[in-house]
Structure 1
């Protein structure tokens, strides 16, 4: 059956059900089932449940009680600076989603906006579209011009589906006569506080593994991810490891969303949760049948059928790890309410620097490989939004004395009818790199460079080779291309020539980081906060040992899972090869990078290693010390931040306030291995470190080898010894380290010149003696 026929049959069945029951849920599901002809990312599709019957043509059944209202702002949807509409015809799209397990009952757009006092009310308006359907037209009147306004616009729930597009179209005019379509008086600003309020009620999904990762992770939900982990008893190291693997998987799925994993022991939360159980450690109130193999099951919460529980189960902890690995690596092959894993062959160890979310550094990379949809590389209009491409890099790339990152840029655009100021500007992390003028049709000021016409679509192709300054790139980067094209009119009262300006970056454009070697000064907590380095050097965490207390409490477990989720978010893939150890198992920390999550046992081990640590924290005592050394400003730090690197030679204080810290130092068990410790005055205070890593502002303040989180702020210091990790040639290493000591280099040059002069003088003396003898 063709897709169109299948949808029509499904819509007819749902319409019949809606008429018979008078309910709105089936009509809302019709909107959800309707194919959307607009371009959508693949991740926006709602998975169907295999084997559904005609009476339940989707995984949705009758809703249960518990209506809720969800509010999301434009800032939460990524438009942190709001929306600015310019010109006679300006438009912008905002995408938002509705969870698979919620049935929409009401929806309202609370639009907060302001507009130019110069607009003519009889000719200007703001049109609001939802999924290409016009839902409101807002007039512009003189009395409210220049004010901050709020309008509530009802949205028809039947128009909402899993993936939705809200479009705002500004039609503005400032004169009845001839006008400039890009005049500065033509503006409307939409506040980032604009809200979309959705009322919904829960829908009971089928118990089917095929809908995974929903409802625990729903791609349509852009809010921070929260998935409770439930254990029947305090988990052992093996069970904790299995749960940690799942945490890295969910963190990778969440991408830009931060992920938290509240821990429940012996109780069931009243929300979707993942249960880890063995035959000996089952959860009270949950009737689980003993299993004889690793098993994955989707079941309903005993107290609410709309709440789903994913049960990861096994005979013992080993079975549990197998089931967890099957979930994160093979869930696409699972369906039905339960799956028994008869065999499981894990992937081999991953090579270094192969994280899917990091750009390749062994070859040039096409720009098209860095976006999910080629449409992201195209824009339309005279002053379009910039094209932004995310560049995540390994943190240890050495940019010292690098001439730049080669960018072979190919782009297309609608050429101006005559030479003007139309241009394309390139930025990295909002820092200007280069701008190029867009050449007019049939002209080129560069005789060695030719603009090529493409087919018959009116666009021209151009190509530029440039270097991105290496000092402008970090672990997280955005490469931006801003087109600005000027409209042209034959005379003041004519329409612009070529009213449909378009531009695009070719997917075949390349950026090349392969010239940068891996070599970096450590410890650097900024590397850890931004990308999980050095642990994420291997995306499966193959050379990482996590150290915790022998009996960690809920707060320590939640901190562990949150950190593992952050690493999955950075790499984009689950990790299953990290090890767990307690503070007494130091043999498992040799020749490995160590992540320590504070507890009394871990604090005792830190105290044992404490002679070279920048900070030791106890409930009533703080010991802060530094190794006297010249202060070297770290890459990317300004003068104000560099001042924070100074600390006392030693400070011993008695105090009892809450305090948390990130501490980095070289492992005392192996050279060039890193230890990063999350330490706090109490387990509950550890969450401050997680909060700081998740917060964009606080994360920017994390650097050096000590970061202290106190009173909602973060301060960083460089107090201890440094070391270097990576692999560069001996000649490069010698030059790099000598460049840090210019006086020493000058003295060495003088000494070398003196030695050469002595040698030359001796040689000349001997030669003169031989000539005299002759």
Structure 2
């Protein structure tokens, strides 16, 4: 079975690896990595190459140059255990098996000849025949080495292979191929003796020189964020003199924009109060006017001058107050890149940041300085226009679904061979979709000739559940056949995935005598992009529900976050601000739009119209929480003096270090929600922040209240077991947001209360019987008269 994973950044500059993300086969389009691998050279060949190199005479000048370069080399070890696919091992089974690892090359790395190596450590079955079993390593389709599987009694073996530096590209794929045999004649592909394990301490070793980082907005978001980086991108915000609403909103919008850029890649955010505290591997962000950020006045290498808290142009005239200013430079001490969004007014600062949040507009930027004179506001998308989800209309084709990998429309996909992989289709329903009976898919497919019609078939699965299929019953193949598949209404969810499998077997049988597998590369199956869908659904969602928050609902409806407002205490602490940035980043990751219109307020600056019309998020500890109405709602709540209360009990918690996430229906609008990120102390609020920072915890959210705790003093944020999450459904009642017909409401009421249906039938029968008896009695009395 072919596997593929993506090695991603960590918080360490060198060697240590702490996080990674699975990259599915269809993600190769996005990363432009070829679905191939390199063969590695045996150790003996490397020794010969070294001998030849030693025998080669070099001039003294060349020797001195190489010695100087060697001193500047930095070593980086990329270990295989950074991938969840590897974990404790990567096991290769069968006669032929492949394991694939994808990795990137950071933009500022310079790799020269002989500076990339692969250390492969492995174990294999003692039943393998060394003369017929080997392990081959490939990089981007080019072979870099092979080694026989000849270790006795499953002893650990290892091989160190040189990788030509010219093979390493921005996006790379390392493939390890095991060809295994346990018989001199014919090996059974299903034999449990055919196995080889790649050990997790295998690694890629890079020796590189750091290249100067270009300071140019034409490559933005680089160098602020490097999409090719192997370490966690570390963003540092310089705190202003006073944290006000005019600073909080631009910071939150920029962080949400960076979250969209990061997507699945990890990012670490922190605050500093002094520029000298910034480290070389960090990226500094400065937001605010010169009066809010006094460090700008003392900066020596700024492209523009700052005099008397005003920014001057090249003619030493003050830049207009409605013009945003964007600068990119370096810190004087650590030489770290710095992004500055400033201006001579708070409106100018907001305009400068807004320029960076609009992907289409910021492509115009170049050089170290950008003056944003005019910036047109982007129209707000519809509430149900979610680019990564199903189209809003009920009848559409597969070509109208954009792939989650690269955001491009789905096109015809062809698979080949007896072990063809599945064709994956992201079938993500909108979070407020409720599917009804009668939804269907008309699958349009083709397949080639020379198949065995008795054993070949096409299968359709929804989240791993079989929902339809048909035999491939034509020996001469078929073109553009149709298969209608019903979509079960209870299976379609916001993270659903359709899979189409072509189970193709050749007409030629297996040659047991000569141990020859029948040819299978002529077997092809295609799913066409004009495959159509006819859905039966309605808008209906029950709130509060933190499970829907995992997909962004309702905070990310619409996707530009314009219906969401965040409220912080009047004088927010550093923990409050970091929690705001973590939430903004998460909202950016789970939304997709042409801009960011998220607003941040303090209690004094919160308009009444926003309070009534928007979804609200309150951040802060219990004593300074800006929206105390949340603690007056029913269910589990924090109370004064480190205590908790609910309908069942009231308890004192003098050592309360837990964080709490609670969602309720907004007291000011029954169609909006109020989300509370709170705790009794900063320690608890920090744990709330980590839930939004880390995928393993965030995607566990459910019900309407979560308590976050840890038994560790300083929990490791990359440890999935470091925090414990307890979930509660504490809301006294659920509010249903729906746009349905009266008939649909009655039908759903009957479905949800079907136990009352017999009682209703009896009651209706008694009522009709009474009415009929009354009518008969009156009719009889009238006849007597």
Please tell me the TM-score bracket, short chain as reference: 0.7 to 0.9
Q: Which residue of 1 aligns with 2:744?
A: 732
Q: Which residue of 2 aligns with 1:516?
A: 537
TM-score (norm 2): 0.78
Q: Which residue of 2 aligns with 1:452?
A: 478
Q: Deviations over 1:383-402 (max 9, x none)?
A: 34444333443322224xx2
Contact 1:549 1:600 in 2 (8 A): no
Q: Does the alignment pair 1:210 with 2:218?
A: yes
Aligned match for 1:565, one of 558, 574, 585 = 585
Contact 1:64 1:203 in 2 (8 A): no
Q: Which residue of 1 aligns with 2:342?
A: 313
Q: Does the alignment pair 1:592 with 2:611?
A: no
Q: Secondary structure at the match of 2:519?
A: coil
Contact 2:433 2:541 in 1 (8 A): yes
Q: Secondary structure at the match of 2:288?
A: strand
2: CA distance between counterparts of 1:231 and 1:409?
A: 56
Do the aligned partners of residues 755 and 224 (structure 1) sit closer, same or farther apart at CA in structure 2, a change above 3 Å counting? farther
Contact 1:232 1:266 in 2 (8 A): no
Q: Deviations over 1:55-93 (max 9, x none)?
A: xxxxxxx99968352535365376669655455443354
Contact 1:358 1:571 in 2 (8 A): no
2: CA distance between counterparts of 1:716 and 1:507?
A: 44
1:47-126 correspondence runs (5 A): 67=74, 69-73=76-80, 76=83, 85-104=92-111, 106-126=115-135
1: CA distance between counterparts of 2:703 and 2:275?
A: 41
Do the aligned partners of residues 756 and 40 (structure 1) sit closer, same or farther apart at CA in structure 2, a change above 3 Å counting? closer
Q: Does the alignment pair 1:325 with 2:337?
A: no
334-343 vs 96-105, which deviates more?
96-105
2: CA distance between counterparts of 1:556 and 1:511?
A: 48
Q: Secondary structure at the match of 1:476?
A: coil
State the Cα distance separating 1:265 from its structure 2 match: 3.1
Contact 2:636 2:646 in 1 (8 A): yes
2: CA distance between counterparts of 1:624 and 1:315?
A: 49
Aligned match for 2:269, one of 239, 246, 261 = 261
State the Cα distance separating 1:753 from its structure 2 match: 1.7
Q: Which residue of 1 aligns with 2:324?
A: 294
1:550-699 correspondence runs (5 A): 550-573=570-593, 575-584=595-604, 585=606, 587=608, 588-599=610-621, 602-603=624-625, 605-606=627-628, 608-617=629-638, 620-626=641-647, 649-699=648-698
756-765 vs 547-556, which deviates more?
756-765
Do the aligned partners of residues 670 and 93 (structure 1) sit closer, same or farther apart at CA in structure 2, a change above 3 Å counting? same
2: CA distance between counterparts of 1:669 and 1:688?
A: 29
Do the aligned partners of residues 683 and 414 (structure 1) sit closer, same or farther apart at CA in structure 2, a change above 3 Å counting? farther
Q: Deviations over 1:486-530 (max 9, x none)?
A: 4543632264333316555525154648522121111001111x1
2: CA distance between counterparts of 1:318 and 1:203?
A: 37
Q: Secondary structure at the match of 2:537?
A: coil
Q: Aligned pair count?
A: 677
State the Cα distance separating 1:129 from its structure 2 match: 0.9
1: CA distance between counterparts of 2:72 and 2:334?
A: 9
Q: Which residue of 2 aligns with 1:631?
A: none
Quote the RMSD (CA, aligned, Å). Answer: 3.4
Q: Which residue of 2 aligns with 1:170?
A: 178
Contact 1:101 1:215 in 2 (8 A): no
State the Cα distance separating 1:318 from its structure 2 match: 1.0
Do the aligned partners of residues 708 and 65 (structure 1) sit closer, same or farther apart at CA in structure 2, a change above 3 Å counting? farther
1: CA distance between counterparts of 2:249 and 2:71?
A: 35
Q: Which residue of 1 aligns with 2:58?
A: none
2: CA distance between counterparts of 1:77 and 1:154?
A: 26
Aligned match for 1:748, one of 755, 760, 778 = 760
Contact 1:231 1:265 in 2 (8 A): yes
State the Cα distance separating 1:717 from its structure 2 match: 0.7
382-391 vs 553-562, which deviates more?
382-391
295-304 vs 382-391, which deviates more?
382-391
Contact 1:231 1:277 in 2 (8 A): no
Q: Which residue of 2 aligns with 1:714?
A: 725
Contact 1:109 1:155 in 2 (8 A): yes
Q: Deviations over 1:445-498 (max 9, x none)?
A: xxxxxx615xxxxxxx54422123232233323333444444543632264333
Q: Does the alignment pair 1:281 with 2:292?
A: yes
Do the aligned partners of residues 259 and 239 (structure 1) sit closer, same or farther apart at CA in structure 2, a change above 3 Å counting? same
Q: Secondary structure at the match of 1:474?
A: coil
Q: Deviations over 1:240-261 (max 9, x none)?
A: 2112111111111222224442
Q: Does the alignment pair 1:383 with 2:419?
A: yes
1: CA distance between counterparts of 2:772 and 2:649?
A: 53
1: CA distance between counterparts of 2:534 and 2:347?
A: 41
Contact 2:415 2:526 in 1 (8 A): no
Q: Deviations over 1:577-629 (max 9, x none)?
A: 232222343623112211111245652642x5533243333685131314xxx
Do the aligned partners of residues 138 and 407 (structure 1) sit closer, same or farther apart at CA in structure 2, a change above 3 Å counting? farther
Contact 1:366 1:508 in 2 (8 A): yes
Q: Which residue of 2 aligns with 1:369?
A: 402
1: CA distance between counterparts of 2:546 and 2:532?
A: 27
Q: Which residue of 1 aligns with 2:39?
A: none
1: CA distance between counterparts of 2:195 and 2:776?
A: 83
Do the aligned partners of residues 464 and 593 (structure 1) sit closer, same or farther apart at CA in structure 2, a change above 3 Å counting? same
Do the aligned partners of residues 480 and 139 (structure 1) sit closer, same or farther apart at CA in structure 2, a change above 3 Å counting? same
Q: Which residue of 2 aligns with 1:434?
A: 467
533-542 vs 751-760, which deviates more?
751-760
1: CA distance between counterparts of 2:568 and 2:187?
A: 69
Q: Secondary structure at the match of 2:484?
A: strand
Q: Does the alignment pair 1:705 with 2:704?
A: yes
Q: Deviations over 1:373-430 (max 9, x none)?
A: 779955444334444333443322224xx2264233234445564244444444333x
2: CA distance between counterparts of 1:79 and 1:768?
A: 88
1:374-523 correspondence runs (5 A): 377-399=413-435, 402-403=436-437, 405-414=439-448, 417-429=451-463, 431-434=464-467, 436=469, 438-442=471-475, 452-453=478-479, 462-486=481-505, 488-489=508-509, 491-492=511-512, 493=514, 495-500=516-521, 503-508=524-529, 510=531, 512=533, 514-523=535-544
2: CA distance between counterparts of 1:482 and 1:193?
A: 35
Contact 1:63 1:103 in 2 (8 A): no
Do the aligned partners of residues 469 and 682 (structure 1) sit closer, same or farther apart at CA in structure 2, a change above 3 Å counting? same
Q: Deviations over 1:429-449 (max 9, x none)?
A: 3x3223635525528xxxxxx
State the Cα distance separating 1:548 from its structure 2 match: 0.5
Do the aligned partners of residues 247 and 703 (structure 1) sit closer, same or farther apart at CA in structure 2, a change above 3 Å counting? same
Do the aligned partners of residues 308 and 618 (structure 1) sit closer, same or farther apart at CA in structure 2, a change above 3 Å counting? farther
Contact 1:223 1:257 in 2 (8 A): no
Structure 2 unmatched runs, 5+: 1-25, 34-68, 312-318, 711-722
Q: Does the alignment pair 1:340 with 2:365?
A: no
1: CA distance between counterparts of 2:263 and 2:530?
A: 25
Do the aligned partners of residues 63 and 759 (structure 1) sit closer, same or farther apart at CA in structure 2, a change above 3 Å counting? farther
Q: Which residue of 2 aligns with 1:133?
A: 142
TM-score (norm 1): 0.79
1: CA distance between counterparts of 2:698 and 2:594?
A: 23
Do the aligned partners of residues 415 and 688 (structure 1) sit closer, same or farther apart at CA in structure 2, a change above 3 Å counting? farther
Contact 2:80 2:200 in 1 (8 A): yes
Q: Secondary structure at the match of 2:211?
A: strand
Do the aligned partners of residues 739 and 494 (structure 1) sit closer, same or farther apart at CA in structure 2, a change above 3 Å counting? closer
Contact 1:259 1:566 in 2 (8 A): no
2: CA distance between counterparts of 1:410 and 1:196?
A: 43
Do the aligned partners of residues 347 and 679 (structure 1) sit closer, same or farther apart at CA in structure 2, a change above 3 Å counting? same
Do the aligned partners of residues 174 and 223 (structure 1) sit closer, same or farther apart at CA in structure 2, a change above 3 Å counting? same
Q: Secondary structure at the match of 2:772?
A: helix
Contact 1:416 1:440 in 2 (8 A): no
State the Cα distance separating 1:534 from its structure 2 match: 0.9
State the Cα distance separating 1:263 from its structure 2 match: 2.1
2: CA distance between counterparts of 1:313 and 1:252?
A: 22
1: CA distance between counterparts of 2:528 and 2:697?
A: 35
1: CA distance between counterparts of 2:110 and 2:27?
A: 24
Q: Which residue of 1 aligns with 2:237?
A: 229
